Copies of this chain bind each other. A is one copy, B any other.
Amino acid sequence: MSDAPKEIDALIDMMARLPGLGPRSARRAALHLIKKRGMLMKPLAEAMGAVADTARECLNCGNISTADICSICTSEKRRIGEICVVEDVADLWAMERAAVFKGRYHVLGGTLSALDQIGPEQLGIPKLIERVSSEEVTEVILALNATVDGQTTAHYIADQLEHRVRVTSLAQGVPIGGELDYLDDGTITAALRARKQV
């Protein structure tokens, strides 16, 4: 509730649902946008509407894309023998910023969790196993967060893929309890280079 006109109140309510914004920062952000309504608010609304209409998950890897199959999966420059498994698209972006990995990805969209009733199917792990069989995959690199859930998920995937393919994981450099998306490019590069078999 901001005591603004109802259209603006509705906007603030929606903005307050974004991660990192509470009611007060949503009011501040909305006022900032209204002050810059020609230069920022209108273009932002249009960009957001366009992305809402076109963005979707890549049917192959789960990456965010504006096509059914993402540009990484369709690129002829990416090695098809290596699949890097990440929890989240934000982690894929972090890997891409490091610019050291030349293979393709598999985005789980989370980690296994008995508490939240998230099993292998919810994470697309059967699809990963299918990709290992049907594509010419020689190595699966597990780039999961160094959290308990992340490592539980990594062990589960390693077990499933045992004897089918070489399974490695990011090793050196990922701090205990750390999350990939917080790391600098150099740390990610070092961790990938020093990857070890699970």
Interface residues of A (CB under 8 A from B): 1-5, 7-8, 10-11, 14-15, 17-21, 24-25, 27-34, 37-38, 40-55, 64-66, 71, 88-90, 92-93, 96-97, 181
B52/A41 in contact, CB under 8 A:
yes
Q: Which 5 residue pairs spanning A and B have beta carbons closest together?
A: A3-B96, A45-B49, A45-B48, A41-B52, A20-B25
* Number of identical monomers bound together in the oligomeric complex: 2
The answer on a CB contact under 8 Å between A2 and B40 is no
Measured between beta carbons, the chain B residues less than 8 angstroms from A42 are: 49, 52-53
Measured CB to CB, the nearest residue on chain B to A8 is B51
Tell me the minimal C-beta distance from A65 to chain B in angstroms: 6
Nearest neighbor of A95 in chain B, beta-carbon distance: B3
